[in-house]
Amino acid sequence: MAGTTRAPLRVGLLGYGIAGRVFHAPLIAATPGLRLAAVLTRDPQRREQARDEHPDARIVDDADQLWRTPDELDLVVVATPNRLHVPMARAAVAAGLPVVVDKPLAATAAQARDLVDEAARRGVPLTVFQNRRWDGDFLTARRLVEEGALGRVVRYESRFERWRPAIKPGWRESGTPDEAGGTLYDLGAHLVDQAVQLFGPVRAVYAEVDRRRPGAQVDDDAFVALTHTNGVRSHLWMTTLAAQLGPRLRILGDRAAYTSYGLDVQEAALRAGERPGTPGWGEVTPERYGQLGVDGDLRPVPTEPGRYQSFYQQVAAALRDGASLPVDPYDAVDTVALIELAHLSAAEGRVLTVAPTGPSVHA
C-alpha cells in the first residue's frame, strides 16, 4: 500500500455537502502527508465547487469508479448522508481501503457493530470523525477534570443549542428511520461521545425527545441524562429552539465549578474559508474564557486552542507508522447504542439501565 512510502496518502472523499466541503476536504488538504485525490458527488453545483476548491482532485459521480481501482487510493472518507454511511464504508472495507466515517457511524448499534467487526476481521483500519473531541472548550474541561481542579465532579452539563425555528429542507429533517435524522443523532452524537470520554461508561439513561416545530418529522428538542458508573451525572441538551443560549459547558465539583459559553470557533472559521495553520487558529479571545472557582472567587481559565487538524494528523500517523487511530470505532458503536436507548427511554417514559457488558437494556 502507498502508505508504506513517504508519498502523500491519496484520499477519496465521498460526499461534498456540509460535512465533506466544510470539514473533511479542508482538513485533509491542510494535513501534511495527505492529498485529496478524488471527490464523489453527483450534484452539479457541488461538482463545480469541488473543481474550483480542489482542482487537483478527480471528480466522480459513481462510487463504483473508486471501487474498481482501489490501488489508486490509500484512504476513503465517508461524508455522505447518514443512510449511506454503512454501505459506503462496507464497500471501502471490502476493497481493502482504510476508512474514516462521519458521525453517527450508523442508524443502529447493530449495524455499527457489524461494520466495525467486519473491518476488524479483514484487518482494515476504520475510525469515526468525532471531531469535537478537539473542541477548545472540551480540551480545557478535560484538562481541569484530570488535574483535579474541580475536586470530585458530581454533575456535567453540556449544550449544543441553536435558534432555527423554521425547518430547513434536506435529509436531516426527514422522518425516514434509515436517515438517522433529528437533533439527537446529529448533535447528540457529539454530546454523548464527549460525556463518555470525560467520565467513562454509563449505567443508566433517561431522555426527553420532542418534535416542537410545526410540521417537524424528526426530533428537534432533546434532553439526555446519563448516569456514569463512577456516579457522575451528565445532563445533555440539544435543541433548534434556543432563542437564548445557555452555557456551552458547566461542570460542578465539590471544590469548584467551571462554566464556559459559546461554541468552538473552528467550524465558523472553516465555513469562512480559513484553514489550520493560520495564525490564531482555534483560539478564543480572553473575554470568551470560561470561569473556574466559586461564586465570589472566580478566575478566567484560558481556553485551549481547538485543533480539529489533530484528527487527520493521527489518521496519517496510524496508516504510515502504525500509531493508534484517533477514535476507537467501538466508541462510536457505544455512542449509537446510547442514542438508541435515549430514544427508547423517551418513548417509554422511564430510566433504562445499561448492561455491564455494554449499552444494552437489561432484560
What's the CATH code of the domain at 27?
3.40.50.720
Helices (H), the chain: 25-29, 44-53, 64-67, 85-94, 109-122, 136-147, 183-186, 188-199, 266-271, 309-321, 329-348
pTM for the model:
0.93
In the block, cell 474541561 appears at: 141
257 and 138 fall within a common domain: yes
Find the CATH number of the domain harbouring 242. 3.30.360.10
In a domain, 329, yes or no: no
Say if residue 39's pLDDT is above 70.
yes
Q: Each residue of 117-144: b (16+ CB within 10 Å) or e?
A: eebeeeebbbbbbbbbbbbbbbbbbbeb
Q: How confident is the model at residue 362 (pLDDT cuts 50, 70, 90)?
A: very low
Give the CA distances from residue 2 to residues 119, 211, 271, 331, in Å, rounded to whole numbers and listed in that order. Answer: 19, 48, 31, 28
Say if residue 363's pLDDT is above 70.
no
Among 4-13, 36-45, 64-73, name the one with the lowest average pLDDT: 4-13
62 and 181 fall within a common domain: no
125 and 142 fall within a common domain: no
Q: How confident is the model at residue 177 (pLDDT cuts 50, 70, 90)?
A: confident
34 and 48 fall within a common domain: yes
**The C-alpha cell of 349 is what?**
417514559
189 and 234 fall within a common domain: yes
In terms of C-beta density within 10 A (0-12 exposed, 13-18 middle, 19 or more buried), how is residue 195 classed?
Answer: buried
Answer whether 20's CB lies under 8 Å from 79's CB: yes
In a domain, 331, yes or no: no
182 and 98 fall within a common domain: no
> Could you say which of 129, 161, 178 is where a domain stops?
129
In a domain, 268, yes or no: yes
Give the residue-averaged pLDDT of 76-96.
97
Q: How confident is the model at residue 21 (pLDDT cuts 50, 70, 90)?
A: very high
Domain residues for 171?
A: 132-306+338-353
In a domain, 218, yes or no: yes
Q: How confident is the model at residue 357 (pLDDT cuts 50, 70, 90)?
A: low
In a domain, 322, yes or no: no
Say if residue 176's pLDDT is above 90.
no
Q: What is the pLDDT of residue 171?
A: 72
Q: What is the pLDDT of residue 169?
A: 82
Q: Which helix (H) or strand (E) element contains residue 293?
A: strand 290-294
Say if residue 175's pLDDT is above 90.
no
CA dist., res. 74 & res. 70, Å (int): 8
Q: What is the CA radius of gyration of the chain?
A: 20
Q: What is the pLDDT of residue 361?
A: 38
34 and 124 fall within a common domain: yes
Give the residue-averaged pLDDT of 81-110.
97
In terms of C-beta density within 10 A (0-12 exposed, 13-18 middle, 19 or more buried), how is residue 362 classed?
Answer: exposed
Q: What angle do CA 38, 41, 45 make, to 5 degrees?
A: 115
CA dist., res. 176 & res. 341, Å (int): 18
CA dist., res. 258 & res. 145, Å (int): 10
Cis peptide before 356 (omega within 30 of 0): no
In a domain, 318, yes or no: no
In this structure, the strands spanning 34-40 and 58-60 are parallel
In a domain, 185, yes or no: yes
118 and 60 fall within a common domain: yes
Over the stretch 253-294, which tens digit does the pLDDT of each residue have?
999 999 999 999 999 999 999 999 999 999 999 999 999 999
Q: How confident is the model at residue 358 (pLDDT cuts 50, 70, 90)?
A: low
Is the dihedral angle over the CA atoms 100, 115, 225, 355 positive or is it negative?
Answer: negative
**Percent of the chain with pLDDT strictly greater than 90:** 90
The answer for residues whose C-beta is within 8 angstroms of residue 289's C-beta and 6 or more apart is 260, 300, 301, 302, 303
CA dist., res. 169 & res. 198, Å (int): 35
In terms of C-beta density within 10 A (0-12 exposed, 13-18 middle, 19 or more buried), how is residue 147 classed?
Answer: exposed
Answer whether 75's CB lies under 8 Å from 11's CB: yes
Number of domain units in the chain: 2
Residue 340 Rama label (left phi>0; alpha psi -120 to 50; beta): alpha
Q: What is the pLDDT of residue 173?
A: 77
Answer whether 166's CB lies under 8 Å from 242's CB: no
Q: What is the pLDDT of residue 102?
A: 97
Q: What is the pLDDT of residue 168?
A: 82
Q: What is the mean pLDDT of the chain?
A: 94
> Could you say which of 129, 156, 179 is where a domain stops?
129
In a domain, 212, yes or no: yes
61 and 193 fall within a common domain: no
> Could you say which of 107, 129, 151 is where a domain stops?
129
CA dist., res. 188 & res. 202, Å (int): 15
Answer whether 337's CB lies under 8 Å from 109's CB: yes
CA dist., res. 172 & res. 242, Å (int): 19
Q: What is the pLDDT of residue 180?
A: 86
Give the residue-averaged pLDDT of 149-175.
90
CA dist., res. 318 & res. 75, Å (int): 11
Contacts for 33-36: CB closer than 8 Å, 24+ residues apart: 33/6, 33/8, 33/9, 33/316, 33/320, 34/8, 34/9, 34/75, 34/312, 34/315, 34/316, 35/8, 35/9, 35/10, 35/11, 36/11
258 and 295 fall within a common domain: yes
147 and 286 fall within a common domain: yes
Over the stretch 117-157, which tens digit does the pLDDT of each residue have?
999 999 999 999 999 999 999 999 999 999 999 999 999 99
Say if residue 360's pLDDT is above 80.
no
9 and 63 fall within a common domain: yes
